[in-house]
Amino acid sequence: MNFVIAINAAPESATAQQALLFAEAVLKNKHTVSQLFFFGEGVRNLVLSAEAPLAKHWQQLILQHCLDAVACINALQTYRPQTTDQSLEFASVAGMAQLVAASASADRTVTFGVRENTL
């Protein structure tokens, strides 16, 4: 089975940890992950720092399995405006259209995290 996993959870949250464990389980069970898409606060999982130790685990998983990891450009501008493409060594930067395209060819798209309504 082919999965797209979308992560919209802060790295300090239990939800981000669950997303990582889910991705590991999918791969361990011989399924494929065609894309990891990080959006909203989830992009913070891709920035290696002391405040986000989970990023190191994501990096290891992505590199070990040669996964397509994508950071949403709009979310980066909101949550990590000082981040450049060069500081995301193990992920590319793109828009939501890339998530839609990957989901169209996947068997399942699983999202971790929710977007809060700020209205």
Can 66 be counted among the known catalytic residues? no
The rounded Cα 79 to chain-centroid distance in angstroms is: 14
Q: Which of 20, 72, 75, 106 is catalytic?
A: 72
Q: Count CA atoms within 13 Å of residue 62 on its CB side.
A: 22
Asked whether 46 and 79 are in contact (CB, 8 A), the reply is no
CB neighbour list of residue 32: distance below 8 Å, 6 or more residues apart = 1, 2, 3, 26
The half-sphere exposure of 83 on its side-chain side, counting CA atoms within 13 A, is 25
The residue ranges of DSSP E strands in the chain, in sequence order, are 2-7, 32-38, 69-72, 92-94, 108-112
Q: Would you please indicate which residues are annotated as catalytic (active-site) residues?
A: 72
